[in-house]
Structure 1
């Protein structure tokens, strides 16, 4: 009888504790860098933070991750800094200010506006009237590409034939002639661009100095960046834009949880670097790279402890 009572007690307790301890980190599509980065971070957190079990969740990326973090559906999300800044201010895709903080910045995302070499497209202005993938719906890529085109006078609803595809869908559609160009905003060496450049002669459309300056003035989360030659097969150095990715969390997260997640991440970043090379940029010195959105007090406490 006692044995049965104990078993019943365990059955009642286990589901609740399992549910309380399981979390997810929002990433992106499986052909980008967010997913493996999030998976590596999830493993570190699961292994090193007591009573925390985290899995990487495939999502539409930045906007979705930011919303789900605020709703409490995720413990954290990877997102582009401009999207998190918009959420914090209640601008862009966000109708009102959202209670978001960051734990730390990850690495810079680069704007890849890609076309095939024989397309005749050599500038952003040439995209007018063309079939363009602006990125997956509710992604940072879609936010950035639309804003960039609008900044040079191209109305994405009237002046182009816009479609919304994720990284791999974009490069497949480009290779198959279904679109003329597409945007991928991802880390240097992002897999989808690397792969299509191995099988097709691709062109990464430059962002001119004047276009870059005008865009940065409107969107201060960005900076100019030059992709070095030969990062992608047979592609020379290209001037473009960059924006830092961050770990976004709810401002309501406890200080203890934020401290523990940040501490575990930085003390085990070499494990993440084995999975994603861009994690070499994820350092305490770069943690506050996104200006305008506060670091979570718990994350700041950990960073302050390093200075002592």
Structure 2
């Protein structure tokens, strides 16, 4: 009898330890942006947390050109999840601007991650004080395919200076370095405040933030791009900024392909937007203060993923009829 029990025990251990009984690992890809930029930083922070705290999930974060590329890749199924500016994903889903006639309708929202603030930065001694002073200047506007580039075009076209500046296709840290090295007079960058690119530029010498909000109010900018809002850099936000300066901002939305299993997205949202998830992200970047349930659907103008919808309903968050899952 003792021998029989021992043999049965060994048999059970062999079965339990076999690959078929090991926990299944779900591997998914999340697209972010340049490693030094806000999309890369946030995507890596989210992916790392989910891989450690959602059992059976392994999130691989891939560097990309940014927002527009991420929208296309998630829509096409090249990646399960990604980050995009609300502006880009709005136009993509609804077939507007560069997506006119070719809407990307496979994308679904999970929630807001951070508020992207338009930084139009120059050195305080450059002599550049207003957007009119940009004419003829070298402006780093982000790399084509990035959300920063798309937002720069929206802002500068509305102000009538897009074709009057020398556009330099550099993004993130490279844009800041170009200005520090005298290869650019100004850089435009959309990221949370405080922003690492601007902080690094300000270590060289004092910077100036150029007012964007005041001049765009004299155009149809907000009517054409309703997802933008006013934002104010407080005095001393960065070394050299001595007074409050108005600009504009747009939310960064975390989204997924519609075919990703609802149960998985529900678990992902619960983990990332929970108290521990927020604490982790606050250690990643102070801009994560906006990554909370109460603000989760701000700036979302396209359908919420079914799994995210289930999570937000359970969390007591009301979902407007226009963006309910489809």
8 Å Cα contact 1:212-1:224 kept in structure 2 = no
Report how far residue 62 of structure 1 moved: 0.3
Match of 1:293 among 297, 302, 305: 302
CA distance in 2, matches of 1:51, 1:97: 34
Stretches of 4+ aligned residues off by more than 3 angstroms: none
Structure-2 residue corresponding to 1:130: 137
Larger Rg, first or second structure (1 or 2): 2
Aligned residues: 293
Choose from 229, 233, 237 the match for 1:231: 237
- Name which structure has the greater RCO, CA cutoff 8 Å, separation 6+: 1
Match of 2:281 in 1: 272
Give yes or no for contact 1:114–1:205 (8 Å, CA) kept in 2: yes
Asked whether 1:91 is paired with 2:96, we answer yes
1-structure distance, mates of 2:33, 2:218? 29
Deviation at 1:146, TM superposition (A): 0.9
8 Å Cα contact 1:212-1:240 kept in structure 2: no
Look up the SS of the partner of 2:97 in the other structure: coil
Q: 1:40 aligns with which of 38, 41, 45?
A: 45
Unaligned 5+ residue runs, structure 1?
1-5
**In structure 1, how many angstroms separate the alpha carbons of the residues matched to 2:108 and 2:28?**
18
Matched, 1:30 2:35: yes
Instruction: Encode CA deviations 1:167-203: one digit per residue, 9 max, x unaligned.
Output: 1111111111111211011000111100111212221
Q: Which residue of 1 aligns with 2:125?
A: 118
The TM-score, its normalising length taken from structure 2, stands at: 0.84
Unaligned runs of 5+ in 2: 1-13, 318-326
Q: Is the 8 A contact 2:194 2:286 kept in 1?
A: no
Q: CA RMSD in A?
A: 2.1
* 3-state SS of paired residue (1:23): strand
Report SS of the residue matched to 1:148.
helix
Give the alignment of 1:67-82 within 5 angstroms: 67-82=72-87
Match of 1:62 among 58, 64, 67: 67
State the 1:265 CA deviation.
Answer: 0.9
Following superposition, the deviation at residue 210 of structure 1 comes to 4.4
Structure 1 residue 208, shift from structure 2 partner: 4.0
Residue in structure 2 matching 1:221, options 217, 221, 227: 227
